[in-house]
């Protein structure tokens, strides 16, 4: 069961083993991406699970493109919707990171450098953070990111460039880079 579209067809037919293969293959990717966009590991778990529910309910004949892009697009859109819902209650940028207690994502990431990188990413504007999540956590090409977000590829490249530059400067200030 290596072809993901074939696994999905089997899962739609009730094959639990095929469903497990897809879940084990993609759940960690979806979790990381949703965590990066929403800033909450608990929310990311919910969104990743909801993505699989929607995948199972979808009766799509579309099988010519990348399965990974199809599934991560579902998660990406759910994460954006959730972030917008949360920001209607309060501005995401004004929520401080936990002082001494580890954030939900920090519990999953044991390496100190990774935690500092995550904090630098979380301090970025939402549009840059989303693009980084799709490119680096979702593993998408620039073209795929442009297609998923509906923005021009030049804008994708520009946002990634400035996001990486901003993160690098913040990490230099913290002594991560020389």
Report pLDDT digits (tens) over 76-127.
Answer: 889 888 888 877 665 544 545 444 565 555 444 445 766 777 788 888 888 8
Question: Bigger pLDDT: 162 or 62?
Answer: 162
Distance CA 111, CA 118 (A): 11
Which of these, 53, 47, 68, lies nearest to 4 by C-alpha position?
68
Cα 143 to the chain's mean position, in Å?
Answer: 17
The pLDDT, as a whole number, for residue 2 is 55
What tokens does 124 get? 């970025």
> What pTM does this model have?
0.63
CA distances from residue 36 to 1, 4, 7, 75, 164 in whole angstroms, order as listed: 30, 25, 28, 12, 15
CA distance 115 to 33: 15
Q: What is the pLDDT of residues 17-50, one digit of tens each?
A: 988 999 999 999 898 888 888 888 889 899 999 9
Enumerate residues 6+ apart whose C-beta is below 8 A from 170: 120, 123
Reported as a pLDDT band with limits 50, 70 and 90, residue 178 is low
Would you state the pLDDT for residue 125?
87
Average pLDDT, the chain: 80
Rounded-to-integer distance, Cα 49 and Cα 102, Å: 24
Q: What is the pLDDT of residue 109?
A: 46
First to last CA, the chain: 46
Weakest mean pLDDT among 3-12, 48-57, 67-76, 89-98? 89-98
Mean pLDDT score, 118-147: 85
* Sequence ranges of the domains in the chain: 4-173
4-173 is a CATH 1.20.140.160 domain: yes
């Amino acid at each position: 069961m290596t072809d993901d579209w074939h696994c999905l067809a089997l899962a739609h037919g009730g094959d639990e083993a095929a469903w497990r293969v897809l879940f084990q293959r993609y759940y960690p990717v979806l979790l990381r991406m949703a965590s990066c966009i929403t800033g909450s590991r608990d929310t990311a778990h919910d969104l990743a699970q909801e993505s699989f529910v929607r995948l199972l309910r979808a009766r799509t004949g579309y099988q010519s493109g990348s399965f990974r892009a199809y599934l991560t697009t579902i998660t990406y859109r759910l994460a954006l919707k959730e972030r917008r819902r949360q920001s209607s209650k309060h501005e995401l940028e004004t929520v401080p990171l936990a002082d001494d207690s580890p954030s939900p994502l920090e519990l999953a990431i044991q390496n100190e450098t990774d935690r500092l990188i995550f904090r630098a990413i979380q301090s970025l504007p939402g549009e840059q953070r989303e693009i980084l999540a799709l490119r680096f956590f979702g593993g998408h090409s620039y073209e795929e990111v442009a297609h998923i977000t509906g923005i021009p590829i030049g804008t994708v490249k520009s946002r990634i460039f400035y996001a990486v530059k901003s993160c690098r400067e913040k990490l230099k200030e913290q002594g991560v880079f020389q």
